[in-house]
Amino acid sequence: MTSQLFTPYALGGLSLPNRIVIAPMCQYSAANGVVGDWHLMHLGNLSHSGAGLLIAEATAVSPEGRISDRCPGLWDDATESGWARVMAGIRQYSAMPIGIQLAHAGRKGGCAAPWLGGKQLPLSEGGWFNVAPSAVPFDPSDAAPQALDAAGIKRLVQAFADAARRADRLGFDAVELHAAHGYLMHEFLSPLTNRRSDEYGGSLANRLRFVLEVFDAVRTVWPRHKALGMRVSATDWVAGGWTPEETVALAKELKARGADFIHVSSGGLSLEQKIPVGPGYQLPFARQVKAASGLPTIGVGLITEAKQAEAVVTEGDADLVAVARAMLYDPRWPWHAAAELGAQVQAPPQFWRGAPRGAEGVFSPLP
C-alpha cells in the first residue's frame, strides 16, 4: 500500500514532493538580526532530510520584533544579505522547497536566549522597548509594552509587506505569517492581551483586523506561484481567551483572501495556560479547522513516529504533518520514516550508499 505521507501535495502554486513539513525552530544564533554560518549549516543539513517543505525560523520584520537579541531579521539590506548567503549555499546542493516565517514578537520580544535564562533583557544589557496592542506585560516582572497607535500599526503592516518582498528576492518558496504562540499578531487576536477600545479591539471582527491587514498587504506583494499561509494558536488554553471557534472564523477569512495553508498550533500567550501535553495533542484543533474551513492544514504537536505521522494524513486530521523537535534530534527523520513505510525520499547521490540492508530503494534521484 502506498504511503499517504509520501504522496505529493500542492500548496497553491507550490508543489511539494511529500506531506512532511519541517516546522520553524528558533536557533538564537544571529548577530544583530543577520544570519550566518550556523544557519547555513543548520538549514543546509535539514535541506537534505527529504522533507517536503522546510520553513526557516521566526524572522523579525523590524528590529524590535525579535524574540531575542540573537534572533534573525529581514528588515534591511544587511539582514537580507545574510539570508542571501545562506540561500545561495543551500541552493547549490538542494532543490527542497524552503519557506520563511515572518514574525513580530510583540510584548514577548527582547529576551535572552533560553540557555541564558530566557528573561526579558534590560535596556542596559541589549534589550529594547516592546510594542503590543495593549500595555500589558507577558510576565509581571517584564516592563510593560507600549500600546501601538494608528501610525505604529500602519508601519508594521508595511514592514511585513517589505519583508515579504525581500523574501521573494531571496528565492524563498513560501511565507508563513506567525500569528501564534503569544507574539504580536496573536496578541491582537486574543481578548486576554487586546484590551483596545478602537477599531482594533473588542469584537472578533476588530481583533481580526490587524492580522487580516498584514495578510492582505503580504498577499498583494507575494507571487501567486509561491505559497502563503499563517501559523496560528487555535486556543490560549485559558478561560476567556482565544478559542478554536474563533480560529475557524480566522481560517475562513484567510481562505477568502487567498491563503494557501494554515498551520495549527496552540498556546504561548499566557503564563496561566494549562496544556494537556501528549502525542498529537494539538491534532483535534487541526482537524476542526480543516473540516470547517477547507483550507489546506498543517498539523503539529509531539508527532515523533512515522506511523503516527502517516495516521495524521490517512485519518484526515491534517493535510500535512509538521515535525519540529524530533527533527532536531534526528535530522534524517524523513529518511527513516520512508524506510519504515516503504516509500522513497529525494536525497543527493553522495548519501545513497548509506541506506541500510533491506532499504536500498529508499532514495530517489533528485529532480
Q: What is the tens place of the pLDDT at every residue in 325-346?
A: 999 999 999 999 999 999 999 9
Length of the chain: 367
Residues 6+ apart with CB under 8 A from 63: 33, 73, 75, 128
Largest Cα span, the chain: 65
pLDDT band (50, 70, 90) for residue 367: low
DSSP 167: H
Q: What per-residue confidence (pLDDT) applies to 355? A: 87
Work out the average pLDDT over 4-31: 97
Model confidence over 283-302: pLDDT tens digits? 999 999 999 999 999 999 99
- Is the per-residue pLDDT at 366 higher than 90? no
Question: Residue 45 is inside which H or E element, if any?
Answer: helix 37-46
Instruction: Please state, in angstroms and rounded to a whole number, the distance separating the CA atoms of residues 59 and 162.
Output: 13
Enumerate the active-site residues: 183
Work out the average pLDDT over 161-181: 98
- Is the per-residue pLDDT at 62 higher than 70? yes
Kindly calculate the radius of gyration of the chain based on its CA atoms and give it in whole angstroms. 20
Residues 6+ apart with CB under 8 A from 89: 40, 44
Query: Taking all residues of the chain, what is their mean pLDDT, rounded to a whole number?
Result: 96
Do 9 and 52 meet the contact criterion of CB atoms below 8 Å apart?
yes
Map out the domains of the chain as residue ranges: 9-364
Model confidence over 185-242: pLDDT tens digits? 999 999 999 999 999 999 999 999 999 999 999 999 999 999 999 999 999 999 999 9
Instruction: Please state, in angstroms and rounded to a whole number, the distance separating the CA atoms of residues 74 and 71.
Output: 11
Following DSSP, what letter does each residue of 132-151 receive, concatenated? ESSS--SSTTSPPPEEP-HH
Instruction: Please state, in angstroms and rounded to a whole number, the distance separating the CA atoms of residues 355 and 16.
Output: 23
Closest CA relative to residue 64, chosen from 192, 150, 155 = 155
9-364: CATH topology: TIM Barrel (3.20.20)
Model confidence over 341-362: pLDDT tens digits? 999 999 999 999 988 888 888 9
For the chain, percent of residues with pLDDT exceeding 70: 99
pLDDT band (50, 70, 90) for residue 1: low
Using CA atoms of 60, 65, 66, 67 in order, give the dihedral in degrees to the nearest 10: -120
Instruction: Please state, in angstroms and rounded to a whole number, the distance separating the CA atoms of residues 169 and 208.
Output: 29
Beta-carbon count within 10 A of 44 CB: 16
